[in-house]
Amino acid sequence: MIDHTRNPDSTCGDPGCSTAAAAGGGGNAAGAVIPRGGGGDENTGLQDERVLMLVFRSLNWDPHLLCIAACVSRRLRAVANRVLWRELCISRAPRMVSALTGGGGGGGGAATRIGGGWHAVAKLLFFCCGCATPTRFFPLPERHPPIPGHFASVSRFSKTSGRSFLPRRLWGDLLYVSDPCEHSAASPSDEVDLGAYRGVFRGFMRSRTRACLIGRQVELESGVRCPYCGARVWSMTAAGLVPRSASHRLGSHQGDLEYFVCVNGHLHGFCWLAHLSSTDDDDDDDDDDDGHVAC
């Protein structure tokens, strides 16, 4: 489990500030004053990477505070993108990061390149993208209100779940997928909720999934972008690469789901969730200790 409970010392009560910084956005944070440092050295005071790492380590890598710092100046944002987001991910999801980097997520450098940057992975860990607009294969009721993205207080990512989202011939790829974030909203049935889920591939540039999408000449979607890195995406539904196991894993109502994969290997999607009985919930448990991230 990933516990995203806000640090009591955090000066930011609005989760929106975390999403802005995680997306690489700028802006000033009211009430947060970080010195620029003196002299001609660009990495003095709180802009020194080593000092910043010690500060945020003492704050238990509070993502809200890190987002505020990343919004203060270009220099601090550069340090965050270069070092701090990576350290946050390692601190909060060590097993997942180790798997995604081939065991090289520490200070010695990553053995596997992280597509889209560490800030995108950090945003994916903490941010549910919601569902603001309908897509080609996932229409929304006319009276359905948009569901904006939001900070997710608790998340669980599993590579066992990720395997359920890939056809058998693509099982050689490693994919982590979160449990769906449930949103109560108007829907085709009074007994279903909207679920939004997200995930990330290891080494997507060399993956079988990417090779299959390119080999099938699947076109990139024109009206959809990755909510985590802003890159263009493929629809796995349009590509015919959505197995039945994905619907079963999600508990999707009548198989109504769609998900996308961006060129950097980030996955996001939506589904209508049927209400499961306690027996169904028990049957869906697994012992995927490496995939369940504890923070």
Instruction: Determine what percent of the chain is predicted with pLDDT higher than 90.
Output: 39
| Residue 228 within any structural domain of the chain | yes
The pLDDT value recorded for residue 13 is: 43
| Residue 124 within any structural domain of the chain | no
Decide if pLDDT at 177 tops 80: yes
| Residue 291 within any structural domain of the chain | no
Tell me which of 5-14, 59-68, 118-127, 252-261 is least confident. 5-14
φ/ψ (deg, to 5) at 199: -165, 180
Same domain (yes/no): 203, 272: yes
At 51-82, the pLDDT tens digits run 889 999 989 898 889 999 999 989 899 999 98
| Residue 175 within any structural domain of the chain | yes
Same domain (yes/no): 249, 177: yes
Angle at 161 between CA 155 and CA 166, to 5 degrees: 135
Domain closes at, from 68, 92, 116: 92
| Residue 294 within any structural domain of the chain | no
The pLDDT value recorded for residue 38 is: 40
Same domain (yes/no): 142, 278: yes
| Residue 77 within any structural domain of the chain | yes
Same domain (yes/no): 54, 169: no
**C-alpha 124: how far from chain center:** 2
Decide if pLDDT at 162 tops 70: yes
Q: Quote the number of domains for the chain.
A: 2
Question: What is the domain extent for residue 228?
Answer: 129-283
Please report which confidence band the pLDDT of residue 168 belongs to, taking 50, 70 and 90 as the band edges: very high
Contacts of 135 (CB under 8 A, 6+ apart): 223, 224, 235, 258, 270
- How does the average pLDDT of the chain come out, rounded? 77
| Residue 182 within any structural domain of the chain | yes
Q: What is the pTM of this model?
A: 0.75
E strands in 216-293: 233-235, 252-262, 266-274
Helix, coil or strand: residue 204: helix
Domain closes at, from 92, 116, 143: 92
At 245-279, the pLDDT tens digits run 887 788 776 667 889 999 999 999 988 886 655 44
| Residue 60 within any structural domain of the chain | yes
At 181-226, the pLDDT tens digits run 888 755 455 567 788 899 999 999 999 999 999 999 999 999 899 9
Same domain (yes/no): 41, 143: no
Same domain (yes/no): 135, 271: yes
The pLDDT of 91-99, averaged and rounded, is 92
Q: Which helix (H) or strand (E) holds 268?
A: strand 266-274
Please report which confidence band the pLDDT of residue 30 belongs to, taking 50, 70 and 90 as the band edges: very low
More confident site: 112 or 16: 112
